Chains A and B, each alone.
Chain A
């Protein structure tokens, strides 16, 4: 706000003077032609308009530095939630090492109030190219750079859903690498963690779909905990049905969308790195039915 106030004031003063000068000193009577007095400079005025801006700059600099130091070098509290965030083309991997939870694209964090602080510390890296984690209503962005670990923290005070997306061009579907951060009340968060820690639901009604899934190429890229599927190239699907969206926030998580996605991801998010699975209609229906039980 201070920065905005200072720059706005400067604008109003300088633009005001400029406008005044252009009106007051316009060449009115073109018939008479005398050149105006030629003024070549003025040491006092020039000194003044060097010193005053310099002082303003110093003030803005000190304010910014204070905030930088407070944000970047703040100490991590004991009870902070740790999340390892790994950027992929074009989805987000979230791992909670201390809680034993692995998920994708939808980040759940507890609210953090002044009375009961519980910030979430994100450790950011990338599996491929540069990405950037940006949820504007929660914090500024920090880049995810391969071969490098960055850290940032968020502490949402209000429960709710906060939207964001990747903010560093990462390839064809950069625009659809969306972020959803769910700030949960402590009770909601605890329930969510409990749920996510469990291995995959094993519903006998979709046993056929489960078999097909485990014998298809799916397992090369995806993990479903409690089964032999432990691929790491694609999102963890253990609790896929507990998520609101698929394809990194690009589509609503409905059976229809899911079926279309598995059939041909390129038709929905062209350039996404998941290949079409070339399943028969029957198999497709079975696998979709299976995945919708993975709550």
Chain B
């Protein structure tokens, strides 16, 4: 593949692959990273930080699964279990999902739009460090939290922390405070990064790159960042109100003094639902870049993809109360939210169909990024369909707060988003490090993930359908849930092995991977025109583009894209 690049009028860059770089002192390296404002380094710090929390959150899940493998188990006590599911959810959403996606956005967006860095580099660094502080503060709660009767330490109120369980009366001690404050901090970081993404995309695209020619990854991150502004504010507001209730005598959510528990639920889900779309849009972004390259075809229906993404962003703001169908809203309200939740399936379906059409008629290469993309396509389809089932409120009246919902959202988060994150790792690792990851180990990773994932999350739907609620530290035998829980647990351990293989691959390939060159995948977007890894200034000469696939135009001068757009 690298050979066909010899005719590329490439920009001359310094080769910075690891075997060429001069060695530096450890303190120099640390200082460089701690004080950097370079989007690439910040992106990598976000990603590294998130990977650590992926492992931590994963271990929390494994411990829970051991406890639930058989009924009436006593592997952990009830309060430990309740802390585990609270921390698992909070960690995975806020300290794994958000950072890893911000990390990829940070690294890739300037490169893909031909820019030199993000618009506000120091804000970028600040956003990372304050988010990091949030995560550390949350985990400090394990040793720093205190309270009556030994309760306290890490938060144990569930990741959505419904009031009034979080009021001082029911959660004495400081664990809830750690939850609220750490998320306020990471929320500030999220907003900072979102500002950077939006401004960079709007103002720093290279010449010739109109919005209509921007890579879909940039579009999706633009929509995602806009959603962050709208979604994070209600959460921060609610958490401030929660702290006021807990310490300064207000009664927003304090039902014993006339406050409203339902108010918290609204505030939380007005954040919470757009939040999950914030997590999924960058996942779509990765697919929009990877599937075309490995099918050897342009993405089918670029304008529709943009419209669908923007549509999903808007509609996702209006579906939140489908988490509240059992709260006792009136029929009119329930009906509205059924409608909006089902309508969002239309643009989402369009995206799946467009990916299918991209593959159709192509020449599919099943390298590691594509393997994970294929997994995503099937799994996200299923996840979306169980979502439609849940959107039908009468169905949801049975299945809300049950393991069916847990299975559904893990299908989206793990089977959908995590698989795309793996695909993105395999795809862009050569760009970041200059070396390829090991394909054989990647295949083991993929197949173990597929087996483990399906063993856990396919079968998890069944106890839900049989009436098993979520967030229970144990369950009664004789309800028909036992064998399914055992299978789910075994699958979790298989996934753990897969992730270990992945981490080994990441580390090993850095030292022993095959040298990648600029463009190992024969791709078409701007990041592949510069060195691997890119020099700190990204591009020695600002690129000029004439179509959506500038490198396709260069490689196929006889049939450039601009004839068709």
Contacting residue for B164 out of A11, A36, A128, CB 8 A: A128
User: Are A60's CB and B388's CB within 8 A?
Assistant: yes
Complex alpha-carbon distance, A198 and B539, angstroms? 88
Which of B45-53, B187-195, B334-342, B450-458 is the interface stretch? B334-342
- Interface status of A146 (Cβ within 8 A of chain B): yes
Complex alpha-carbon distance, A166 and B402, angstroms? 11
User: Are A175's CB and B258's CB within 8 A?
Assistant: no
Complex alpha-carbon distance, A173 and B556, angstroms? 66
Complex alpha-carbon distance, A10 and B401, angstroms? 26
User: Are A169's CB and B474's CB within 8 A?
Assistant: no
- Interface status of A71 (Cβ within 8 A of chain B): yes
Contacting residue for A143 out of B295, B297, B328, CB 8 A: B328
Q: Return chain B residues, CB-CB under 8 Å to A72.
A: 330-331, 334
Complex alpha-carbon distance, A124 and B327, angstroms? 11
| A-B contacts, 19 listed (Cβ < 8 Å) | A15-B381, A18-B378, A22-B359, A26-B364, A37-B361, A46-B354, A49-B350, A64-B395, A68-B338, A89-B170, A129-B165, A134-B467, A134-B469, A141-B397, A147-B255, A148-B261, A167-B401, A169-B157, A270-B78
B3 to chain A, nearest CB (A): 11
0 or 1 for each of B300-344: is its CB under 8 Å from A? (1 = yes): 111110000000000000000000001110110011001100110
- Interface status of A21 (Cβ within 8 A of chain B): yes
B352 to chain A, nearest CB (A): 7
- Interface status of A279 (Cβ within 8 A of chain B): no
User: Are A172's CB and B261's CB within 8 A?
Assistant: no
Task: A27-B296, A65-B335 given; name 20 further pairs at CB < 8 Å.
Answer: A7-B386, A17-B356, A40-B298, A42-B300, A42-B357, A49-B350, A64-B338, A64-B392, A64-B394, A65-B338, A68-B334, A69-B335, A72-B330, A130-B261, A141-B326, A143-B327, A150-B328, A169-B82, A169-B158, A170-B165
Q: Return chain A residues, CB-CB under 8 Å to B377.
A: 18
- Interface status of A78 (Cβ within 8 A of chain B): no
- Give residues 1-58 of A contacting B (CB, 8 Å): 3-4, 6-7, 10-11, 14-15, 17-18, 21-22, 25-27, 35-42, 45-46, 49-50, 53-54, 57
- Interface status of A199 (Cβ within 8 A of chain B): no
Interface residues of chain A: helix, strand, loop or mixed (majority): mixed
User: Are B345's CB and A57's CB within 8 A?
Assistant: yes
Q: Which chain B residue has the least Cβ–Cβ distance from A34?
A: B363
Q: Return chain A residues, CB-CB under 8 Å to B298.
A: 38-40
B324 to chain A, nearest CB (A): 9
- Interface status of B479 (Cβ within 8 A of chain A): yes
- Interface status of B260 (Cβ within 8 A of chain A): yes
- Interface status of B346 (Cβ within 8 A of chain A): yes
A169 to chain B, nearest CB (A): 4
- Interface status of A145 (Cβ within 8 A of chain B): yes
Contacting residue for B296 out of A22, A35, A130, A142, CB 8 A: A35
List the count of A-B residue pairs having beta carbons below 8 Å apart. Answer: 243
User: Are B361's CB and A25's CB within 8 A?
Assistant: yes
Q: Return chain A residues, CB-CB under 8 Å to B207.
A: none
Q: Which chain A residue has the least Cβ–Cβ distance from B161?
A: A169
- Interface status of B234 (Cβ within 8 A of chain A): no
User: Are A40's CB and B300's CB within 8 A?
Assistant: yes
- Interface status of A73 (Cβ within 8 A of chain B): yes
Q: Which B residues are within 8 Å of any A CB, using their own CB?
A: 77-79, 82, 151, 156-158, 162, 164-165, 170, 255-256, 258-262, 295-298, 300-304, 326-328, 330-331, 334-335, 338-339, 342-343, 345-346, 349-350, 352-354, 356-357, 359-366, 374, 377-378, 381-382, 385-386, 388-389, 391-398, 400-402, 466-467, 469-476, 479, 556, 559, 561, 564-565
User: Are A3's CB and B346's CB within 8 A?
Assistant: no
Q: Return chain A residues, CB-CB under 8 Å to B256.
A: 146
- Interface status of A294 (Cβ within 8 A of chain B): no
User: Are B77's CB and A175's CB within 8 A?
Assistant: no
User: Are A49's CB and B353's CB within 8 A?
Assistant: yes
- Interface status of A228 (Cβ within 8 A of chain B): no
Q: Return chain A residues, CB-CB under 8 Å to B356.
A: 14, 17-18, 21
Complex alpha-carbon distance, A132 and B259, angstroms? 19
- Interface status of A115 (Cβ within 8 A of chain B): no
Complex alpha-carbon distance, A237 and B298, angstroms? 73
User: Are A40's CB and B565's CB within 8 A?
Assistant: yes
B69 to chain A, nearest CB (A): 15
User: Are B335's CB and A4's CB within 8 A?
Assistant: no
Complex alpha-carbon distance, A35 and B295, angstroms? 9
A127 to chain B, nearest CB (A): 10
User: Are A3's CB and B389's CB within 8 A?
Assistant: yes
Q: A41-B304, A64-B393, A129-B170 are in contact. Are A145 and B381 (CB under 8 A)?
A: no
Q: Return chain B residues, CB-CB under 8 Å to A73.
A: 331
Complex A-B, nearest 10 residue pairs according to Cβ-Cβ distance, in ascending order:
A140-B397, A175-B472, A150-B328, A136-B467, A146-B255, A27-B363, A147-B255, A41-B301, A7-B385, A167-B469
User: Are A41's CB and B392's CB within 8 A?
Assistant: no
User: Are B162's CB and A169's CB within 8 A?
Assistant: yes
Complex alpha-carbon distance, A178 and B476, angstroms? 9
User: Are B258's CB and A147's CB within 8 A?
Assistant: yes
Q: Which chain B residue has the least Cβ–Cβ distance from A20?
A: B360
Contacting residue for B331 out of A18, A54, A69, CB 8 A: A69
- Interface status of A77 (Cβ within 8 A of chain B): no
- Interface status of A174 (Cβ within 8 A of chain B): yes
User: Are A36's CB and B362's CB within 8 A?
Assistant: yes
- Interface status of A164 (Cβ within 8 A of chain B): yes
- Interface status of A226 (Cβ within 8 A of chain B): no
Q: Which chain A residue has the least Cβ–Cβ distance from B156?
A: A172
0 or 1 for each of A260-295: is its CB under 8 Å from B? (1 = yes): 000000000011000000000000000000000000
Q: Which chain A residue has the least Cβ–Cβ distance from B304?
A: A46
Q: A143-B327, A167-B402 are in contact. Are A25 and B394 (CB under 8 A)?
A: no
User: Are A173's CB and B78's CB within 8 A?
Assistant: yes
Q: Return chain B residues, CB-CB under 8 Å to A175.
A: 78, 471-475
- Interface status of A219 (Cβ within 8 A of chain B): no
Question: Which of B164, B302, B363 has most A Cβ within 10 Å?
Answer: B363
Q: Which chain B residue has the least Cβ–Cβ distance from A165?
A: B469
User: Are A142's CB and B165's CB within 8 A?
Assistant: no
Q: Return chain B residues, CB-CB under 8 Å to A114.
A: none
- Interface status of A187 (Cβ within 8 A of chain B): no
Complex alpha-carbon distance, A174 and B475, angstroms? 11
Complex alpha-carbon distance, A270 and B473, angstroms? 12
A282 to chain B, nearest CB (A): 29
Complex alpha-carbon distance, A72 and B352, angstroms? 35
Q: Return chain B residues, CB-CB under 8 Å to A54.
A: 346
User: Are B556's CB and A35's CB within 8 A?
Assistant: yes
0 or 1 for each of A111-148: is its CB under 8 Å from B? (1 = yes): 00000000000001000111010101101111101111
Q: Return chain B residues, CB-CB under 8 Å to A7.
A: 385-386, 388-389
A269 to chain B, nearest CB (A): 9
B382 to chain A, nearest CB (A): 7
A135 to chain B, nearest CB (A): 8
Q: Which chain B residue has the least Cβ–Cβ distance from A145?
A: B261
